[in-house]
A and B are shown apart, each in its own frame.
Chain A
C-alpha cells in the first residue's frame, strides 16, 4: 500500500503524458468555450487513471470535449458518428468504447467524434444524466452539424453510437432532440441535435428507451450474459422499435458479457460486431455516396 502511494504521483504524470499523446494525434474541441452551463465554479482538474489492461479511465469532467477522428479524404463516405463511451456515469472508459471505436470508424471512411461528458454519478456530483450529460450530448451533435461543411459531412448522415452509460445517452438524445434555435447568437446553438441513426451497444437504463414512430433507425447489440435489464431488456427494446415501425436491427451474442467494445483481444462472433454495424449503415444507406 505504502509503495503504491509513493508511486502515485509518477502514475499521474505518466497518465497525463499518455493523454497528451492521444490528444496530439486528434484535435480536441471544447464543447462550451465559455464554460458549460451548470459547471460554473467547478475548477477541479480532470482525472485520468490507467486500468490494469492499460485503459485510460477519465473522471472529474467539467469541460466536456469532442475528440475528432477524420477519415482519409480518399475513403471518406460523408457519414459521421458521435461516439459516447460508458463507465456508469462515474467515469469514462476512453479506449475500447472510445478511441478504438473512433479509429475503426475512421479506418472505414466514417468521421468519428468521441464525447467526454459530465458525470452524474461521481461521488458528490451535482450533475444529472438527463440535464448536464444530455446537454453535452446535444451540444456535441449541434457542434458536428455546425461544421459539416468543414469536415465534408452530409448532415443527413450524422448519427450516434453509445456504449453502456453512453448508450443511455445515445438513446436519450434520440428521444430528446430539436432543430436548434434559429435566433441564437451562438452559431452552434442554431444547429440541430437530431441524430440520423442510433447505435445502442449494451445500453444502460433500457426501460427508459421508448421509441416513437419518428425515432431514428436503431442498431442494437449486446451479450446474452449481460445483466437481465440489458440482455433481455434490449430484446424488449427491439420489440418497441418494431411496434413503432422504426427500422431496427439487433444482435445478441450468446455467452458474452458486458463491456466488450472494440478490443484487439476480443474473439469469436462478438469480435465482428463492428462489421455488422457497418453493414447496417450501408444497408440503411448512410454510407451511400459522398456529399456533393
Chain B
C-alpha cells in the first residue's frame, strides 16, 4: 500500500532531479542506530528531502573509485534523537554540491562549502546543510552543500563493496568541491581567494583534512579542474571529529585561518582548545568559541533561543568580516 501511494511523489522528485541526472534519494527504513525512543515519535510517512536548488555532480562521469555505483540513488531515512526527528541522507556514490547563491547585488564574494555531519554514516542534511546554506546566502555569502562519500555507511547492502576512506574519497570530494567553486567563481560572483570550508562533526573532520593536507593542484592534469588549487582560504570545523594528533600537520604560512566552535557539554572541547593552542603556536590565525551549553549536532536551530550557542552563525559571519572576507 505505502509504496503505491508514494509513486506520484517519487515521480515528481525524479523529474526535479532529471536536469542534473542525480536520482532522488529513496526512502529507506530507519536503522537501529538511528532510533532513540526518548525522542519524538518517528513519523509514519517516509522522509522527503526538502526542496533545494539543483545539485551539481562533482564528477559528471563518475567519481574516481565510484564509477560502478554512480547511478545508485541516495537513501533518505529518519533519524531520531532525544529532542528531534529529522531526515538523513546516505548511500552517496555520486558526490555533489548544491549551490545557494546570494542575489548578485548582495554578493560579498565569499563562498562557504558546507560539509554536513553524520559520523561518515549519513548526512544531517538540513540543519547542518541546506538550512545554514540558505542563512548564509541571505547574508550575501555563497554557500554550497557538499554531499561527500561516506566511509562508514551502514545503509549499503550487506556484502556490497564499501571501500571509501575519509582521508581518500571524502577528502577528494571536499577538494573537488573547492576546485569546482573556484572554476565557476566569476559565474557565481565569488572571489576565488575567498573560498572556505565549514564542516560539522564528521564534516568538520573533512574541513580539517582539507585545510591541513593541502593539494595545490596538478598543472599537468588532463582535467582542467584538477589543475586548480584545492587549499581552502579558511576553514571552520564546528564540533569536529578528527582532532587527534594534528599538531604536526599544521604549517605556518600554509594552514589557512581557522574558526573553531563547540559546546562544553560535547566530547571535544578539550581537544578543540588544544587544537587552538597548536594553531596559535604555529602562528596560524585562529578564533575559538566554546559555549557552556549546546551538546552535539545542533547545526542551525531556531527552536532553542534560550541557548546562547544558537547564535553561533553570527559569530562565524563576524569572524569572516573581521578577516576582510566580506568586504566589497
Which residues from chain A sit less than 8 Å from chain B, CB to CB?
217, 224, 228, 231-232, 235-236, 238-239, 242-243, 247-255, 268-270, 272, 276, 279-280, 282-284
Contact = CB atoms under 8 A, between A and B. Distances in A.
B264 A248 contact: yes
A235 B280 contact: yes
A272 B318 contact: yes
Interface string B306-328: 11100100010011011100000
9 contacts: A232-B281, A242-B269, A249-B264, A254-B285, A254-B286, A268-B321, A269-B287, A269-B318, A280-B308
A282 B319 CA distance: 24
Nearest to B261: A251
Given A247-B264, A248-B264, A269-B321, 4 more contacts: A239-B273, A255-B285, A268-B321, A280-B292
Contacts of B239: none
Instruction: Report, nearest first, the 6 A-B pairs whose CB atoms are least far apart.
Output: A269-B318, A279-B308, A254-B287, A249-B292, A252-B288, A268-B322
Nearest to A267: B322
Interface string B165-192: 0000000000000000000000000000
B280 to A, nearest CB: 5
A283 B307 contact: yes
Contacts of B264: 242, 247-249
A283 to B, nearest CB: 5
Instruction: Identify the interface centre among A235, A249, A255: most chain B CB within 10 Å of its CB.
Output: A235
Main secondary structure of the interface of A (DSSP, over half): helix
A234 B274 CA distance: 11
A243 B270 contact: yes
A284 B322 CA distance: 29
A100 to B, nearest CB: 21
B129 to A, nearest CB: 25
Contacts of A269: 287, 315, 318-319, 321-322
Contact of A224 (B274, B280, B292, B307): B280
B323 A249 contact: no
Nearest to B291: A249
Contacts of A253: 287, 322
Contacts of B270: 239, 242-243
Contacts of A217: 292
Contacts of A250: 273, 288-290
A238 B322 contact: no
Nearest to A252: B288
Given A254-B257, A269-B322, A282-B308, A235 B293 contact: no
Given A252-B276, A269-B315, A280-B308, A238 B290 contact: yes
Contacts of B286: 224, 252, 254
Nearest to B311: A279
Contact of A238 (B273, B308, B319): B273
B242 interface: no
Contact of B308 (A228, A236, A239, A283): A283
A11 to B, nearest CB: 37
A235 B287 contact: no
A76 to B, nearest CB: 21
B277 interface: yes
Contacts of A242: 264, 269-270, 273
Contact of B274 (A235, A249, A251): A235
Nearest to A218: B292
B281 to A, nearest CB: 7
A235 B276 contact: yes
Contacts of A224: 280, 285-288
Instruction: Identify the interface centre among A217, A232, A249, A272: most chain B CB within 10 Å of its CB.
Output: A249
B234 to A, nearest CB: 10
A254 B285 CA distance: 6
Contacts of A283: 292-293, 306-308
A269 B290 CA distance: 15
A282 B306 CA distance: 8
B274 A252 contact: no
Given A235-B288, A269-B318, A284-B292, A255 B323 contact: yes
A56 to B, nearest CB: 29
B289 A251 contact: yes
Nearest to B275: A235
A236 B311 CA distance: 25
A251 B292 contact: no
Interface string B252-294: 0000010100001000011001101100110001111111110
B274 A239 contact: yes
A7 to B, nearest CB: 40
Nearest to A217: B292
B323 A248 contact: no
Contacts of A255: 285, 322-323
Contacts of B308: 276, 279-280, 282-283
Contacts of B289: 250-252
Nearest to B317: A269
